[in-house]
Structure 1
Amino acid sequence: MTRALRVAVIGAGPAGIYAADTLMKSGTPCTVDLFDRLPAPFGLVRYGVAPDHPRIKQIVHALHRVLDNPSARLFGNVAYGRDLLLADVRTLYDAVVVATGCERDRDLDIPGIDLPGSHGAAEFVKWFDGHPDVPRDWSLEARHVGVIGAGNVALDVARVLAKQAEDMLVTEIPDNVHRGLAANRATDVHVFARRGLAQARFTPMELRELDHVPGVEVVVDPEDVEFDDGSLAALRESRQTQMVVKTLQDWALRDRRPADDPALRRLHLHFLAAPVAVLGTDRVTGLRTERMELDGGGGVRGTGVFTDHPLQALYRAVGYIGSELPELPFDALSGTLPHAAGRVLDFDGQQVPGVYACGWIKRGPVGLIGHTKGCALETVGSLLADAADLDPAPVPDPAAVVELLEERGVRYTTWDGWLQLDKHERGLGEERGRERIKVVPRAEMVELSQVG
């Protein structure tokens, strides 16, 4: 190929941006166009990380530098499968990297899970992160709330539910989220984990952070502190597991604060408590759990002892799953694109020409944001190894995609448009002594991103 390689990246979150960065640093002459269905870039960092975790959100600075590269272009507010089809991408680009992530809640197959008052954690996270495609209002009338899960998303949901709204005002939350949190009536938030302390997926920093929330007491039942040979092996193998278990043990042993303190919210961490049914007829009234016991190998088995916990709302944080993409093979069980080293495969195991996958849509929702760099390196390595055999794009002119989107009436946003929106949000924040305040409505985001 005598010209620069032309690559489309579907998804402008960390996975897509790292793939673009790896391509542009590879030494192979190339240009990369990134497409995202949202008007703003950064995906999970902007809409999946809790607003009171500014340390994690700082990764935006590194992603920002990638999109500043003149070899990259951003097209926001462009939905693959609607505004841009696979045939379009194959016509305009030599290859495409799909990096759409996993943003749906994985199902939990227990009776009553669909009752009113039962929610997926992902939708709640999108709400408090100001995602443009979820309702502006969220009912927080429940006094006793349950969260199912033993990972950082469960902690994020529980922490936000337990915090006072005023403590969130230092973050970038929009006004509608602050109003919703100010109306929160929760006094007790219960987190239910099916397995034991040594199997919890919390990271130490996020766990310890719970104990520094003003007006919140973290409660661990001493009876939940159990270990078997599998648990002890996990402790020996992982410094992170040791830190998590020590924190939980310390909380289990300390004295409780007065039960009648009206200003206190309590965050209860329950282990060895497997959810078996959501209780209620017209809406959630509780959760039934089965007491589990360690099986010696780090797993658990049921004991046949059940407990009903009175609750008025429930959130499941049992994992994310990817969404099917038009005209591409999809493994519905794992929620991923079938692949070999990032090369997308059809249902016969044959490579789909010129189509690659990166990030959670490739490997599932595992690993932290930083793990995506290695994933991008593998995928881009496969793409570059195939470069000489790729069918060249029939219409490689960079202007052609702009003409196509304009012909279809797509009101897309650009990198310059994001810089304009970013400046506006920072200005809103500066007026109130905050770093930024997010703009939520999609139409307003698109309007503010128009340049010229």
Structure 2
Amino acid sequence: MGRRLLLPHTRRLMLFLRPMRYSASATATATAGSLRDPLHVCVVGSGPAGFYTAEKMLKGREGVRVDIIDRLPTPFGLVRSGVAPDHPETKIVVNQFSRVAANPRCSFFGNVTLGSDLSLSELRKTYDVVVLAYGAESDRSFGIPGEDLRGIHSAREFVWWYNGHPDMCNLAPDLTNTDSAVVLGQGNVALDVARILLRCTTELASTDIADYALDALRSSTIRKVYLVGRRGPVQAACTAKELREILGLKNVNVYIKEADLATSPADKEEMRNSRIKRRVYELLSKAATVHQENNDNDRKELHFVFFRKPTKFLPSEDGSTVGAMELEKTLLKDDGATGKQVAVGTGEFEELKCGIVLKSIGYKSLPIEGLSFDKYRGVWYCLLIYSPF
């Protein structure tokens, strides 16, 4: 008997939907024997989640047929539009996906958009199983004053822009009106966009970065990038591999305030329980020491700004473009429920001058007709039925 679970759809979560022709009670108790043979499956989304799902299904049940649909004309999703152009080794996985697509029982249909070209109910009537395996296509916001100023973009938009995604090829971020950029967030995506802004363009020229993005970066006047996080270096959400890469950029000085590297007993406990946190902290501490000894004013600058949360985007003199950020100093307190340390405002504020802001604070889904949607959290829910194939 299948198990029923109610789960939110976040980025790249896969939802298995049984056909509408089954009643609710019948669906909840359906077993593999109640499905027709050969099984016909539709996977919506042709990124890693979609292709791994297709591969698993093709191997797991004899004769199963899988149709993969995507709103873009080309497959591979985030491998094509999300992976940084200077990470070619990560993109090698497309060879595996190409072998899946070459399977005679697998078909790809591009330029097909769920919700306009096809409805969810139509798919559920046509297929035995429908898998929604595409990513969240919108961005979370701060909901603070000035967020609609020009020059403020999400990291997703910026990444899609330099990777040549058709939705963002006309984004045209202005990289020539300032020497300072702020990246809000300290996860791997935040480090990606900061690295692209700071990396030498002669190195980027040998990658598959979009030509128009390379031209814009060649003309860029940005010399300083600030990576801003609400919590401290122990809580930075990046991995050691990504951090090591950005710290090793040529002709870039790294700046970290010595006071921000001080650790509390709670920080030390977090590092004892997590090798990743410990390694990230060690890399940041070492970088702060090394770059203090090798300060060169002719080099670009990468500033790690900890214990700050944005409270307001401030306009420049023209009144329509971002010119600075108001940041509130924070400190860490135990949330009392999960034991996690959360950032709490102190009431002390400061301004950080900038001409472009990239927000790397997470994603949210868009509503789909036929599924319950939580507008506040940006997630939708679906009944999942697990039965063996």
Instruction: Provide the secondary structure at the position in 2 that maps to 1:208.
Output: helix
2:84 to 50, 53, 61: 50
- Normalised by the length of structure 1, the TM-score is 0.73
> 1:293 is matched by which residue type in structure 2?
L
Q: Does 1:94 align with 2:128?
A: yes
Q: Which has the higher helix share?
A: 1
Q: Is the 8 A contact 1:8 1:96 kept in 2?
A: yes
Distance in structure 1 (CA, Å) of the matches to 2:71 and 2:320: 36
Cα distance, 1:292–1:271 mapped onto 2, change above 3 Å: same
The answer as to 2:317 corresponding to 1:279 is no
Q: 1:252 aligns with which of 285, 288, 306?
A: 288
| Structure 1 position 132 matched with structure 2 position 166 | yes
Please state how far the C-alpha of 1:216 moved relative to its aligned partner. 1.5
Q: Secondary structure at the match of 1:80?
A: coil
Letter paired with 1:85: S
- C-alpha deviation, 1:76, in angstroms: 0.9
Contact kept in structure 2, 1:10 and 1:96, CA below 8 Å: yes
CA shift digits 1:139-189 (9 cap, x unpaired): 211211101002011101111111222220111113212111111110101
- Contact persistence 2:43–2:66 (CA under 8 A): yes
* Native 8 Å contact 2:372 2:382 kept in 1: no
Large movers: runs of 4+ above 6 Å = none
Following superposition, the deviation at residue 119 of structure 1 comes to: 1.0
User: Are residues 2 and 95 of structure 1, via their aligned partners in 2, closer, same or farther at CA, if it must alter by over 3 Å?
Assistant: closer
| Correspondence for 1:19 among 42, 48, 53 | 53
Q: What CA distance in whole angstroms lies between the structure 2 residues aligned with 1:294 and 1:90? A: 48
Aligned residue runs from structure 1 range 337-376, under 5 A: 337-339=380-382, 342-343=384-385
1:280-337 CA distance string (max 9 Å, x none) = 1321110111111222552232222211111111111001112222333223333333
Quickly say closer, same or farther: Cα 1:2–1:265, change in 2 above 3 A: closer
Distance across 2 between alignment mates of 1:230 and 1:63: 43
The equivalent residue for 2:362 is 319
Q: Distance in 1 between matches of 2:40 and 2:174?
A: 47
Out of 303, 308, 322, the position equivalent to 2:351 is 308
Aligned-partner Cα distance in 2 for 1:87–1:56:
36
Cα gap change, 1:55 to 1:285, in 2 (>3 Å): same
In the alignment, structure 1 residue 195 sits paired with structure 2 residue 199:
no
Residues 78 and 257 of structure 1, relative CA distance in 2, 3 Å threshold: same
Deviation, structure 1 residue 210: 0.8
Which residue does the alignment assign to 1:70?
104
What do residues 61-96 of structure 1 show as CA deviations (whole Å, max 9, x unaligned)?
222222222211100111111222224313321221
- Alignment pair present for 1:160 and 2:196: yes
- Describe the SS at the equivalent of 1:299: strand
Per-residue CA distance 1:217-253 (angstroms, 9 max, x = gap): 2221112113223211210111111110000111222
Q: What does residue 180 of structure 2 align with?
A: 144
SS in 1 for 2:322: coil
Match of 2:137 among 94, 103, 108: 103
| CA–CA distance in structure 1, aligned partners of residues 37 and 213 of structure 2 | 49
Task: Give structure 1 stretches of 5+ with no counterpart.
Answer: 344-381, 388-452
Q: 1:332 aligns with which of 369, 375, 378?
A: 375
Q: Label 1:257 to 1:307 Cα distance change in 2 as closer, same or farther (>3 A).
A: farther
Alignment match, 2:328: 290
Count of residue correspondences: 344
Native 8 Å contact 1:9 1:34 kept in 2: yes
Distance in structure 2 (CA, Å) of the matches to 1:90 and 1:197: 47
Secondary structure at 1:25's aligned position in 2?
helix
Alignment RMSD, CA only?
1.8
Tell me which residue corresponds to 1:37: 71
Q: 1:92 to 1:306 in 2, by over 3 A?
A: same
Letter in 1 for 2:220: N
Q: Match for residue 216 of structure 1?
A: 252
Is 1:173 paired with 2:205? no
The whole-number CA distance in structure 2 between the counterparts of 1:229 and 1:258 is 32
TM (norm. structure 2) is 0.84
One-letter amino acid matched to 1:177:
A
C-alpha separation between the residues in 1 aligned to 2:352 and 2:213?
28
Aligned pair in 2 of structure 1 residues 28, 226: CA closer, same or farther (>3 Å)? Answer: farther
2:271 partner SS? helix
2:370 aligned counterpart, secondary structure: coil
Alpha-carbon distance in 1 for matches of 2:123, 2:135? 19
CA contact (8 A) 1:164 1:181 kept: no
Q: Aligned equivalents of 1:87 and 1:105: distance in 2?
A: 26
SS at match of 1:160: helix
Deviations, residues 359-417 of structure 1 (Å, cap 9, x unaligned) = xxxxxxxxxxxxxxxxxxxxxxx2x44x7xxxxxxxxxxxxxxxxxxxxxxxxxxxxxx
The code of the aligned residue for 1:243 comes to: R
Give the match's secondary structure for 2:259. helix
Unmatched tracts of structure 2, length 5 or more: 1-34, 335-339
| Kept after mapping to 1: 8 A contact 2:255/2:301 | yes
Q: Which string of whole-angstrom CA distances, capped at 9 and with x for unpartnered residues, describes residues 24-67 of structure 1? A: 12135310100000111111111111111122222222222222
Q: 1:84 is aligned with what amino acid? A: L
Which letter does structure 2 place at the counterpart of 1:336? Answer: V
Whole-angstrom CA distance in 2 between matches of 1:100 and 1:144: 34
Tell me, yes or no, if the aligned pair for 2:151 and 2:173 is still in contact at 8 Å.
no
